[in-house]
Amino acid sequence: MALATAKLFVDQGAYVFITGRTQEKLDEALRIIGRNVTGVLGDAANLADLDRLYETVQQEKGKIDVLFASAGAAGFGKLGEITEDFFDSIFDLNVRGTLFTVQKALPLFAAGGAIVLNGSIASIKGYAANSVYSASKAALRAFVRGWLVDLQDRHIRVNLLSPGAIDTPLMAASGSDFKAQIAPLIPRGEMGRPQEVATAVLFLACGEASFVNGVELFVDGGMGQI
């Protein structure tokens, strides 16, 4: 989803900075996007890596207009079997990482900018062995409500985009049987495409959405609403 979003923004004339935890995947993303992009190797849960990212942004462009905080981790852990390491691995990236990704970007933000956090319908649905992940995404909804107040004097909008079942490479790795089980749960009968998420991020970031602030936009084909 992040790759599709970066590519769409470039196609719309933006210059983008992307980050990833492995050089191989980062290089592949740079190849696909092709132009107007800088890649910085790093982990959103590592504060030193975030500092390096924003130092690069400062040196190359000097400011940020839009931030899509999309890094996240998922995993299953049933109550009674949840370990401290598992809990920390989810919350370190999804909650702590998101917080510091945004906070460390603020000195570079222009007035009137836009921040979009990447949530999930898991924050409003109950799924087996998924409580830790769901809670980490619910925390982002609370961040949005608080941050829009914190940033109101700078006219920076903050919104949450919450995808449902999206046909990503990670989902594809789950196999055709899993995808076939998911499809009937979606009113339109099929999973969403990364490009549909990217279009929603673009809307939340653009000037035409200047009065949209503090919302949670579900991009789920209705899956989370029934």
Q: Which of 15, 54, 127, 133 is catalytic?
A: 133
Residue listed under structure tokens 């092709």: 34
133 has catalytic annotation: yes
φ, ψ for residue 64 (rounded to 5)?
Answer: -125, 135
Q: Locate 182 and state its tokens.
A: 């998911």
Query: How far apart are alpha carbons 132 and 138 in whole angstroms?
Result: 10
Residues designated as active site: 133
